[in-house]
Amino acid sequence: MVRHVTDSKPQLILDVACGPAGVTRALAKRSSASIIGIDLSEEMIRQGQVNVDRAGLGERVALVLARGEQLPFADGTFDALTFTYLLRYVEDPQATLVEMARVVKPGGAIASLEFAVPSSPPAHVAWWLYTRAVLPVAGYLLGGKGWWDVGRFLGPSISAHYKTYPIEWTVDAWRHAGLNHVEYRCMSWGGGLVMWGYHDS
């Protein structure tokens, strides 16, 4: 995902749903761009700032409290945009894609990383057992009840999202948002999805 937006040598990148700034830092390390990361969680922004400062990237990275569905930026502000694990959490994925495309300059790259549901039967069975049984138990053993709850939420959340919004729908939604050359790659035996495209120029 990072490579798809940094190869064009952008000067200003927006990282939507940046969380603790993992992708934000990767973008900064792979490019000379200035990066703005946004997240709707104050706790994530605080942790992200700690991580950015520890990495010595504070001069090129700014973290802002904001929502992907309602970005506080003018049209065509950014040369490129990334978002991670976002579309499951918004009320209207199509409108959110339109909003993100709005702030990217013509010709700019957009790329995303999301969880996915494996399509092959053996991989799907293994994924289902992992997300419904292994993940909650491992979360509980390593982090207590809070991580047990996260583990129990994640698998059903992913399944429900793709029942409503399968990958084919998502590709079309990107195109309807004004993006072209939309491509994707399934990873981790189908459990991960990288998608990328370019704003119509």
pLDDT, tens digit only, all 201 positions of the chain: 999 999 999 999 999 999 999 999 999 999 999 999 999 999 999 999 999 999 999 999 999 999 999 999 999 999 999 999 999 999 999 999 999 999 999 999 999 999 999 999 999 999 999 898 888 888 888 888 887 888 888 899 999 999 999 999 999 999 999 999 999 999 999 999 999 999 986
Q: Are residues 62 and 134 in the same domain?
A: no
Residue 2 CA to residue 33 CA, distance in Å, equals 12
Q: Are residues 102 and 150 in the same domain?
A: no
Give ∠ CA 44-6-66 in degrees, rounded to 5. 30
Q: Are residues 99 and 38 in the same domain?
A: yes
| Other C-beta atoms lying within 10 Å of the C-beta of residue 111 | 23
Q: Which domain holds residue 34?
A: 2-115+165-199
Q: What is the pTM of this model?
A: 0.93
CATH of the domain at 44: 3.40.50.150
Q: Are residues 101 and 149 in the same domain?
A: no
Q: Are residues 96 and 178 in the same domain?
A: yes
Q: What's the structural domain count of the chain?
A: 2
Residue 10 CA to residue 34 CA, distance in Å, equals 9
pLDDT for residue 169: 97
pLDDT for residue 33: 97
Q: Are residues 110 and 130 in the same domain?
A: no
Q: Are residues 94 and 14 in the same domain?
A: yes
Q: Are residues 148 and 170 in the same domain?
A: no
pLDDT for residue 55: 96
CB of 111 closer than 8 Å to CB of 137: no
Q: Are residues 185 and 133 in the same domain?
A: no
Q: Are residues 87 and 151 in the same domain?
A: no
Q: Are residues 88 and 38 in the same domain?
A: yes
Q: Are residues 64 and 15 in the same domain?
A: yes
